[in-house]
A and B are shown apart, each in its own frame.
Chain A
Amino acid sequence: MTRRQNVGKLERISSAGLAGLLVLGGLKQRGLKRLLSLSTAGFLAYRAGSGYCPAYERLALDSTSSASHPRSAQDTVTILADPERTYDFVRDLSARDDIFTRFHLLPSAEEEGQVLWRLDLPLQRSYSVPLRLVEDRTNRSITLEPVKDDSPILRIHFKFTEGRNEGETRVDLIADYKIPGGYMGNQVASLLEPAVRTMLRSNLLRLKSKLEAGEIPSIEGQVSGRQQRSYR
């Protein structure tokens, strides 16, 4: 009987590689360890060869899909400033480097409304995506989308509405994104969602501080006992 495949290509290759390693390792073992290693390798080899995993079937999982599903993360903040001022402030994206720590103006781009979304990674590496302004509704919303279609960032959207109290503005910041790699990419995207939300929250709090207090609170460069020579 032919079973329906439920293991994706990337996973089948990984399973095959892992099965090979387990065979090599298992042959050096004796007794129960050898039996366990070789039987696990056999299961992984079957999974790699057939593309079918009984455990996935029981758990109703399927990693064969090559489609990456878009995800959306959002956060909101209320600022004691009217929508006009808030919109004007955000609209001037090129001047907002200190607030939107992941946004930077493309150095070479003279085109109006084009910005660079930059993700700072460990070891001083960064990943950049050029975005362009696709919708600009004065005092109401700003939408940015990637210049190229293969970008993991699908949309950055700011929405401005009047707050609950007079003189306040509610700012919603929404990021739509997807991670390539089909099923695995979707799982990674799902795991990344809290980090994306934290990034949005951090940017919104900085925006609020800048607009309300005129500066962003900071202790960077502050003195402490960690700077004295005899400390240990």
Chain B
Amino acid sequence: MKAVCWFGKEDVRVVTVPDPSILNPRDAIVKVSLTAICGSDLHLYNGFIPTMQKGDILGHEFMGEIVETGSEVHNLQVGDRVVIPFTIACGRCRFCQDQLWSLCDNSNPNALVAEKLYGYSPSGLYGYSHLLGGYAGGQAEYVRVPYADVGAFKVPDHLSDEQVLFLSDIFPTGYMAAENCDIKPTDTVAVWGCGPVGLFAIRSAALLNAAQIIAIDRFTERLNLARIAGATDLINYEQESVLEALHDLTGGTGPDKCIDAVGLEAHGIGISAGYDYVKQKLQLETDRAHALRQIIQGCGKNGIISMPGVYGGVVDKLPLGAAFSKGLTFRMGQTHVHRYMGRLLQHIEEGGVDPTFLITHRLSINQAPHAYRNFRDQKDEWVKVVMRPGE
């Protein structure tokens, strides 16, 4: 089969590899019908995530058709159309039972490595480094799905692939980011970063009835999409001061809830952003936290900061004094995708959300190297790329 493989920093290739096979009784094999490049895949592309190995198959947003099931998978049939949550979870440990699927105790085969770095291991992920399991990803014609009895979500035939694909990651991720804000009808929610996750966070904040939603980015096209998603106010950080604009837009109180949909590769202007570039180049810090610093500074008193953006290692110069003095609450973590798929599918079926609004490019999987490069370099035009393996 054809698969998109990582061979090093900025080196992604489409190569022919053997087809996957069932390795454990709860596995299934899925023939991928549609897959996407996630913003967090760019962290791999740019070489910021450790423990990648040459030849690893990329991709954690994908869906398709069941073509084979293991001996312990009784609730799926060959031919079922399924979306796969990007977090791999056993469904039976204490965390899965508590609906905290991305904290599954049992799905990371390299848990000992993760424990060394993080103290305790999170769940495994598809195509996202050996620290998080080393599982082959879904940017391929076929993929092995572990714990398929709980990790493959059946979708109805009357919805298209493009309508349901984003249930695998970015829609639940944006939704959980908004839900973590405990939004009240009078709340102002500010969202840093209008990439796919940020756009779904904005859409979800609107679904949860936030009074005011402020979108922050530097690309006009993305800010326009933020308006379509439900943003009431837009801030282009290259044209105005974010902190001053937030102050003005909120009557001097600052936003009640803030969402960091940026993560470890924050861009920015000024000393803080420059400091991060230098330290990251010198390998003195792993993550550029410029946006997070600004969020802590800009968030109103007693506010909540929700962080769906990915952080992988260490940052410094975080203004914890500001966070402490204002009594801020931080919520973060990989998405408990399984928890949200049912209710978000309902939103799609009822017409409350059309997830296709952010797709800008529809390509063949053969064009993956070109897509990765342009998705990274031309953010104003390339918002979301979906790829069909069969073309």
Q: Which residues of A contact B (CB under 8 A)?
A: 78, 80, 165, 168, 198, 201-202, 205, 208-209, 212-228, 230-231
When distances are taken between beta carbons in the complex, the residues of chain B under 8 Å from A213 are 26, 90-93, 106-107, 147
| Chain B: CB-nearest residue to A205 | B111
**Which stretch of B15-23, B217-225, B234-242 is in the interface?**
B15-23
- Flag if A225 contacts B94 (CB, 8 Å): no
Identify 21 residue pairs between A and B in the complex whose beta-carbon atoms are under 8 Å apart, listed by A's number. A168-B94, A213-B26, A213-B147, A214-B25, A215-B72, A216-B109, A217-B146, A218-B109, A219-B134, A222-B144, A223-B21, A224-B56, A225-B7, A225-B13, A225-B15, A225-B56, A226-B55, A228-B55, A230-B15, A231-B15, A231-B55
B interface residues, tally (CB under 8 Å): 44
Give A225 to B14 CA distance when docked, in angstroms: 9
Q: Given the interface contacts A214-B25, A217-B106, A223-B57, does A80 sit within 8 Å of B7 by beta carbon? A: no
Task: Say which residue of A78, A198, A225 sits within 8 Å of B17 (CB atoms).
Answer: A225
- Flag if B92 contacts A80 (CB, 8 Å): yes
- Flag if A225 contacts B55 (CB, 8 Å): yes
- Flag if A201 contacts B3 (CB, 8 Å): no
Give A205 to B90 CA distance when docked, in angstroms: 14
| Chain B: CB-nearest residue to A230 | B15
When distances are taken between beta carbons in the complex, the residues of chain A under 8 Å from B111 are 205
Most chain B CB inside 10 Å of its own CB: which residue of A80, A219, A230: A219
Q: For chain B residues 87-129, which have a beta carbon within 8 Å of chain A? A: 90-94, 97, 105-109, 111-112, 115, 124
| Chain B: CB-nearest residue to A77 | B105
When distances are taken between beta carbons in the complex, the residues of chain B under 8 Å from A225 are 3, 5-7, 13, 15, 17, 54-57
When distances are taken between beta carbons in the complex, the residues of chain A under 8 Å from B134 are 219, 222
Q: Given the interface contacts A168-B94, A215-B26, does A228 sit within 8 Å of B17 by beta carbon? A: yes
Give A16 to B112 CA distance when docked, in angstroms: 43
When distances are taken between beta carbons in the complex, the residues of chain A under 8 Å from B124 are 217
When distances are taken between beta carbons in the complex, the residues of chain B under 8 Å from A208 are 93, 105-106
| Chain A interface helix/strand/loop/mixed | loop
- Flag if A223 contacts B19 (CB, 8 Å): yes
When distances are taken between beta carbons in the complex, the residues of chain B under 8 Å from A226 are 53-55
- Flag if A80 contacts B108 (CB, 8 Å): no
- Flag if A217 contacts B133 (CB, 8 Å): yes
- Flag if B18 contacts A227 (CB, 8 Å): yes
- Flag if B106 contacts A212 (CB, 8 Å): yes
Give A216 to B108 CA distance when docked, in angstroms: 9
Q: How far is the CB of B16 from chain A (nearest CB, A)?
A: 6
When distances are taken between beta carbons in the complex, the residues of chain B under 8 Å from A212 are 90, 92-93, 105-106
- Flag if A220 contacts B23 (CB, 8 Å): yes
When distances are taken between beta carbons in the complex, the residues of chain B under 8 Å from A220 are 23
Task: Say which residue of A205, A221, A228 sits within 8 Å of B16 (CB atoms).
Answer: A228
- Flag if B23 contacts A222 (CB, 8 Å): yes
Give A231 to B109 CA distance when docked, in angstroms: 26
Give A136 to B390 CA distance when docked, in angstroms: 58
Give A216 to B124 CA distance when docked, in angstroms: 13
Q: How far is the CB of B123 from chain A (nearest CB, A)?
A: 10
Q: Is B166 an interface residue (CB 8 A)?
A: no
Task: Say which residue of B26, B55, B97, B106 sits within 8 Å of A224 (CB atoms).
Answer: B55
- Flag if A198 contacts B90 (CB, 8 Å): no
| Chain A: CB-nearest residue to B130 | A219
When distances are taken between beta carbons in the complex, the residues of chain A under 8 Å from B19 are 223
- Flag if B106 contacts A201 (CB, 8 Å): no
Give A60 to B124 CA distance when docked, in angstroms: 49
Q: How far is the CB of B259 from chain A (nearest CB, A)?
A: 32
Q: A218-B23, A224-B53, A228-B16 are in contact. List 14 more A-B contacts (CB 8 A).
A: A201-B112, A202-B112, A205-B111, A213-B26, A213-B107, A218-B24, A222-B23, A222-B135, A222-B144, A223-B20, A225-B5, A225-B56, A226-B54, A231-B15
Q: Is B371 an interface residue (CB 8 A)?
A: no
Q: Is B136 an interface residue (CB 8 A)?
A: yes
Q: Given the interface contacts A223-B19, A226-B54, does A215 sit within 8 Å of B109 by beta carbon? A: no
Q: How far is the CB of B62 from chain A (nearest CB, A)?
A: 15
Q: How far is the CB of A94 from chain B (nearest CB, A)?
A: 21
Q: How far is the CB of A182 from chain B (nearest CB, A)?
A: 32
Give A209 to B96 CA distance when docked, in angstroms: 13
When distances are taken between beta carbons in the complex, the residues of chain B under 8 Å from A231 are 7, 15, 54-55
Give A16 to B146 CA distance when docked, in angstroms: 60
Q: How far is the CB of A224 from chain B (nearest CB, A)?
A: 4
Give A36 to B25 CA distance when docked, in angstroms: 66
- Flag if A214 contacts B92 (CB, 8 Å): yes
Give A213 to B107 CA distance when docked, in angstroms: 9
When distances are taken between beta carbons in the complex, the residues of chain B under 8 Å from A228 are 5, 15-17, 55
When distances are taken between beta carbons in the complex, the residues of chain A under 8 Å from B57 are 223-225
| Chain A: CB-nearest residue to B91 | A213
When distances are taken between beta carbons in the complex, the residues of chain B under 8 Å from A217 are 24, 90, 106-109, 124, 133, 146
Q: How far is the CB of B14 from chain A (nearest CB, A)?
A: 9
Task: Say which residue of B13, B17, B94 sits within 8 Å of A223 (CB atoms).
Answer: B17
Give A162 to B17 CA distance when docked, in angstroms: 47
Task: Say which residue of B15, B106, B135, B147 sits within 8 Å of A219 (CB atoms).
Answer: B135
